Each structure stands twice: as C-alpha cells, then as structure tokens.
Amino acid sequence: MMNNQDLRLKDLIGNNVQHPTVHLIGFPSDIGVKINGGRPGASKAPGLVYENLLTFTPHAAHTDTHTKLLRNTESLMMLNCSGDLPADHENLGDTVAGFLSDQVIPVILGGGHETAFGHFLGYAKSDLPVNIVNIDAHADVRELKEGKAHSGSPFRQAAKHSSGVCKSYNVYGLNPASVSADHLAFVQKQGDAVFEQSVSVDAILNRLNLFDEASLMVTMDMDVVRQADAPGVSAPNASGISKDQWLKLAFGFGNHPKVTSFDLCEVNPDFDRDNQTVKLAALTVWYFLLGVALR
C-alpha cells in the first residue's frame, strides 16, 4: 500500500501514466568513449542513476506541483545498444523524434557523450531547428577517428549535419587545459564558448533568452564538475565547477520553456566512490524535473 505521508519517486514515476509530460530513456553505450581512448564504464550508469532517483522524495516545499509532474513522468525505457554506434544513434534519434512530435520531454541517461549525437538526431529526423547547450569540460568537436564517431565528436557531427537544423552550438564550463585553440575557434564560430572560471549560472540562464525561437537541446557532461564532487566520470576534472553550480543549472534548464530535451552523460560507476557521482547524477535529474514542474 502506498504511504502518502512518505512518497518516493518509485511510487510516482511510471505509475499508470496516461499522458506523459516527460519520458526517461536509458542509452547504455560507452563504445564512443572506447573509440576516443577514454576509460569505459559509463554504459553501467543509466540503470544505477535511475535506481537512485527512485529513492528520492518530491520537493517538500513544492509537493503538489512536483508530484503532479512526477505522476506524468514515464519510467525508464532502456534502449538496446548493440555496439554498432551509427545504428544505436539512429535508434536513439528515432526514439527522441517520436517524443518530440508528441510534445513529450525526453530525458536521456547516458552513457558516454556519444549519446548527444543520437539525441540531436531526434531533431534532425523531426526537421526541428535547435540550439544546443552543452555543460562540459571539453568542446567535443573532434574529427571522426578513422571514419568512426565517438564521445569527442558529437557536436562537430551536429554542427555539420546535412539537415542544417543545428542553429548554434554553445558550451559552458570548458577546462582551459583540455581545449585546443582549433576546437575553441570552431565552437566560437558556432556560438558561445565559456571557460569554467567564468561560468555564471545566472549569465548562462539569461543567455538562453537571447537565442532565437528554435528549441533548446541541453546536454550535461558530469566531467565538468570538479573531481572532489564527482570522482566517478570517464575523464576526471581536477578543477571544474562546483556541484552547487551544476545543480542550479539543472533546475534552471528544467524551468526554461524553450528546453525541449535533456541528457546527462559520462557518469562512470566503475570509478565512483560510495556512489557519490551516481547520487549526484540522480539528484541532477531530480532538479531538472523540479524545474519542469515549476514552469
């Protein structure tokens, strides 16, 4: 029997949802990380992040509003990732496109940051113009490796996609020791590029209002968070932004009416400490959903 005095998200998400506002998707791929020379393990994150998310309560100060949104959130759809990355990207793109057409917000749990290109393909397949906002220590605009996409190439792929639906690519939180001059110049031609020392949550969220009427696709890479707060990632960050900045961004993105999709990437449970990063990732999704609830 459900205890209405101590509701958990497991009591709310996916419970006979008739008309979902949000749908959770798992993309358990880290083949792109391997191709990019990173340490594998991110494929294990989606299920673990979801399990932790379900243990949380709705926000006590916004119980009714938050609960209503959570009751209209569909449970995790775990996609089959075959290891054929182009095929897996197409599958994710088809899934995202279906939700976008139904005006449902897809929330994607990666996986490596190769997740972002499949996410973008949802817009390309729907012929929907989109501005991409990435919170990341890296620009992820590398060339393909021997013709293969990977976790470091998704935004070059999106910017150059034949559909032309990518109207801008913007990245906030860059680690200056991890971005080449060529990659910085590429991003600056596409949109904004801001280093971690200059990240201002208010400035970023205010910047979203300056974009055109195209939708906003948000992707958050956990390696932008400093290693002390997020040790379990594919590429740990000795500096980075604080978890407080990170969570405020997640809430702000959820609360912004132009944001029509969201993904969270690069959590690596194999290198986590007492589930610290997995729990932070789950809390990130919780804050994003709270933001959506309070729109």
Q: In the chain, where are the structural domains located?
A: 20-293
105: Cβ–Cβ under 8 A, 6 or more apart, which residues? Answer: 21, 22, 23, 99, 259, 260, 261, 262, 292
Name the architecture of domain 20-293: 3-Layer(aba) Sandwich (3.40)
CA–chain centroid gap for 146, Å, is 27
252 vs 140: CA distance, rounded Å = 23
Q: Is the pTM here over 0.85, yes or no?
A: yes
Q: What is the pLDDT of residue 4?
A: 67
Q: What is the pLDDT of residue 20?
A: 98
Q: What is the pLDDT of residue 1?
A: 42
Q: What is the pLDDT of residue 142?
A: 98
**Average pLDDT per block of 10 residues along the chain, 295 residues long:** 77 96 98 95 98 98 98 98 97 98 98 98 98 98 97 98 98 98 98 97 96 96 98 96 98 98 98 98 99 98
Nearest to 230 by CA among 264, 275, 179, 178: 275
